[in-house]
Amino acid sequence: MSHVFTMTPAFLSSLGWSGAAGFTAQALRFATRLLLARVLSPDDFGLFAAATTILSLAGLLQNLGLQSPLINEKFQGSRDMAYRGAQGLLFAVAIILALALCLAAPVFANLYGMPGLTSLLRVLSFSLVITAFMTVPSAALSRKFRFRELAVAEVLSLLAFAATSMACGRWGWGPYALVCAQLLSQWLYASLLLVFSHRGDHWRFGISSHWSPLRPLFAHGGYSGVNQFLALTLTQGDNAFIGSRAGATMLGYYATAYLLGSAAATVVGGVVGRVLYPQLSQHHDNARAFASSYNLGLQLSLCITLPFTALLVMEPHLIVGALFMDKWAPSAMLLPPLAILGLFRLWNMLACAAVEAEGARGAKATALVKLAQVGLMTLCLPAGYRHAETLGASWAMAAVMASGCCAVALRLAVARKMTPARFLKPFLLPSMATLPCVALATLCATAWPAMIMAVTATIATTAFTLRASQNWK
């Protein structure tokens, strides 16, 4: 077996389609947020952010950790039969969780101190039933590297979200503009995935109560589910803490600053991580090719995100002032720590995907690291908030994510016997591209020259990385 990683046509096509969809999706999200900021208040965004935090936890319980095993594991019997059994199980769990969320909505509203959260959660509980029909077709398409269909479904659903939220926002629906748009876009996305997954040799939709083919998945899926729960706690725990301590308005400022600060990291992580996991699973038995695949994904990600993260840290007030109205000015002070937090979450996500591709053993290792991170977060968040309120909590989250990210990356390097030079290789080119951007931002009175330099450096380094990756060692 070759020890050199070369990008296959399927990998290149998947990366291209995921890249196009990811950048288009992020542009749509960002443009929609900018427009909605003019018709909705920070309080509306804070209420919706609190509701989606609770809904994310319910959605994770509904998923049962089956997404990764459905892509990665081999079945003893019919894969189609296993898919139908998984669909039946996910649908049954979704019904139970939706009813439970409706009953528990007043409890969560009291916990957050937001009375309007009760009705919001009850309406959003319908999304659990809708998303139950996303996991299996998405896994079937991802396993076959059919990212073109996933890209089309994602972009169309986001267009529906943008149009619906803007229309309802102008009609004065407040946070329910976001709720209605969320439900419609999820229904469209699930419908398109089901249609696309019927093409070719993927699977035929059906719901079965025959769950015995799923038994091999639960060892991997159990650790994967724990990982997803811990990752969700790390991702949404700060939202829950700030919403309960500072209220809906400050949570709206925090969520807006995080959206801006992590925009590049979110889209790049979604693109590279989505394609990288199936690729790493295929190279599981080839340590050198596995490490090369991971390093390629990391360098591509850093080439795009590092220059822009540096600018967001250095010029937060100028960037927030140029993009948002004056009522969003408090978001500027939160932008530097949240931009750094987004960058470390990107690296953490790629490193965890690489470790989890090893199977149940890797999933167990990442679960232990994330458990330690959650424990550290429970200590650092209150301490940071006591020191400097929301700003202190933001810096505390950045420190927690940095510590866990370094731990997972070092575990990967030791397990794959990566030399220090190979470990540091992905950071060299992005760091060199970022230095001119930092110098221009320091010397110039305006951020535009540095922004132009960041775009130029990103395009040049990304093109160089893709070209060099044809014989990436």
**How does pLDDT run across 82-91, given as a tens digit for each residue?**
677 777 778 8
> Are the CB atoms for 140 and 197 separated by under 8 Å?
yes
Quick one: pLDDT at residue 180?
92
Residue 205 clears pLDDT 60, i.e. is over it: no
Q: Quickly list DSSP for 347-394.
A: HHHHHHHHHHTT-HHHHHHHHHHHHHHHHHHHHHHHHHHHHHHHHHHH
Return the percentage of the chain with pLDDT > 90, whole number: 5
3-state secondary structure (DSSP) of residue 80: helix
**pLDDT band at 56, cuts 50/70/90?**
confident
The residues near 29 (Cβ < 8 Å, ≥ 6 apart) are 158, 259
Q: Tokens 């319980």 appear where?
A: 61
Quick one: pLDDT at residue 187?
93
Q: Is 113 left (phi over 0), alpha (psi -120 to 50) or beta?
A: left
Residue 222 clears pLDDT 60, i.e. is over it: no
Quote the CA–CA distance of 118 and 54 in Å, as a whole number: 11
The neighbour count for residue 278, using CB atoms within 10 Å, is 19
Residue 458 clears pLDDT 60, i.e. is over it: yes
Residue 195 clears pLDDT 60, i.e. is over it: yes
**Range scoring the smallest mean pLDDT among 22-31, 36-45, 220-229, 436-445:** 220-229
pTM metric for this prediction: 0.72
**Residue range 59-86: average pLDDT?**
63
Q: What type of residue is 76? A: Q
Quick one: pLDDT at residue 73?
53
> Are the CB atoms for 182 and 124 separated by under 8 Å?
yes
Angle (CA) 370-376-379 rounded to 5° is: 150
**Range scoring the smallest mean pLDDT among 353-357, 386-390, 463-467:** 463-467
Quick one: pLDDT at residue 5?
45
Enumerate the β-bridge partners of residue 87: none
> Are the CB atoms for 321 and 332 separated by under 8 Å?
yes
Quick one: pLDDT at residue 4?
44
**Range scoring the smallest mean pLDDT among 34-38, 163-167, 212-216, 284-288:** 212-216
**Residue range 155-163: average pLDDT?**
89
The mean pLDDT of the chain is 77
Q: Quickly list DSSP for 418-464.
A: --HHHHHHHHHHHHHHHHHHHHHHHH-SSSHHHHHHHHHHHHHHHHH
Return the percentage of the chain with pLDDT > 70, whole number: 74
Quick one: pLDDT at residue 11?
56
